[in-house]
Chain A
């Protein structure tokens, strides 16, 4: 039974391992087996680290894709573009509301003045016709200006989505860096400081390079 077992294993194992298996030195065999497993683990962790690096590069590339004039270097640039878009859309919305708030009192004054004029004119008088048209126009303006103010709420909705994308990009980057940190640690490198402390692209690149990714 024992001879048959040894023969079967011996057919599939490397020569060095088969020799160790057949030798009376148990500890030596275990050490060789550990070394082999560790070597395979390190290969796997290196591959995971490389994958994380590639993913991180892809996220960084997002900045470049967003750039219209010039090359955005990194995730920070991409996030800055989102912040810029948010601020510009808010500026546009405020200008629209400024305009509406400036015009609304004028439309109200026109309604009041035209209505007053109607009291002093005959029905068929051209001034009365003009006054009636003015009232209608002013009412229409007030309604339109109110709608214009309300339409700016789309800026709020768009802004909230931009914020979510910004948060998502930040989370992806942090997660990738954490993956790099863990795979680097598992592959046998010293564990660096927590990625929570990373605040710049330079920090991120430094961490990645510490693990050779």
Chain B
């Protein structure tokens, strides 16, 4: 599975990558983007199966990236997991309304990440969006 990790903090990108590898995902298939603009350009060029994005980023925030993904025909079905320090109610609602698949508040554990990813793909499989 090809995964795009989006975060302006290089430490956080490495942490998410380490956790994903720990959960059994292939390291070489995990790519990184430093902000939403960088991510959307990569998504247009290459097919990914999952986006794990931060909320607070320069140039294009995570919520704007999510909206951009949902507004593009070729990308709108992309599973998006938001990993963020923002845990206020309005922002969570905004993310849900924009079509986020799941939302994790930092700091989090590998078990939490696994639980959210499992739920995302179970829902997608149940909806028939993915074979």
Contact = CB atoms under 8 A, between A and B. Distances in A.
A93 B18 contact: no
B35 to A, nearest CB: 13
Given A97-B18, A101-B18, A156 B110 contact: no
A156 B11 contact: yes
Nearest to A97: B14
Nearest to B19: A150
Contacts of A74: none
B18 A157 contact: no
Interface in B1-41: 7, 9-12, 14-15, 18-19, 22
Contacts of B18: 97, 100-101, 146, 149
Interface SS of chain A: helix
A69 B85 CA distance: 33
B109 to A, nearest CB: 7
Given A146-B110, A156-B85, A156-B106, A90 B11 contact: yes
A93 B22 CA distance: 19
Contacts of A146: 18, 22, 110
B55 to A, nearest CB: 10
Q: Pick the most buried of B15, B56, B108: most chain A CB atoms within 10 A of its CB.
A: B15
A93 B11 CA distance: 7
Query: A interface, how many residues as a size bin?
Result: 10 to 19
Contacts of B106: 153, 156-157
Interface in A147-189: 149-157, 159-160
Contacts of B14: 94, 97, 149, 152
B107 interface: yes
A150 B12 contact: no
Interface core residue of B9, B11, B18 (most chain A CB under 10 Å): B11
A31 B19 CA distance: 77
B65 to A, nearest CB: 17
A16 B20 CA distance: 85
Nearest to B22: A146
B12 A153 contact: yes
Interface of B: 7, 9-12, 14-15, 18-19, 22, 56, 85, 106-110
Given A90-B10, A156-B7, A157-B106, 16 more contacts: A90-B9, A94-B11, A97-B11, A97-B14, A97-B18, A100-B18, A146-B18, A149-B18, A149-B19, A152-B14, A152-B15, A153-B11, A154-B107, A156-B15, A160-B9, A160-B85
16 contacts: A94-B14, A146-B18, A149-B14, A149-B15, A149-B18, A150-B19, A150-B109, A152-B14, A153-B12, A156-B7, A156-B9, A156-B85, A157-B85, A157-B106, A159-B11, A160-B9
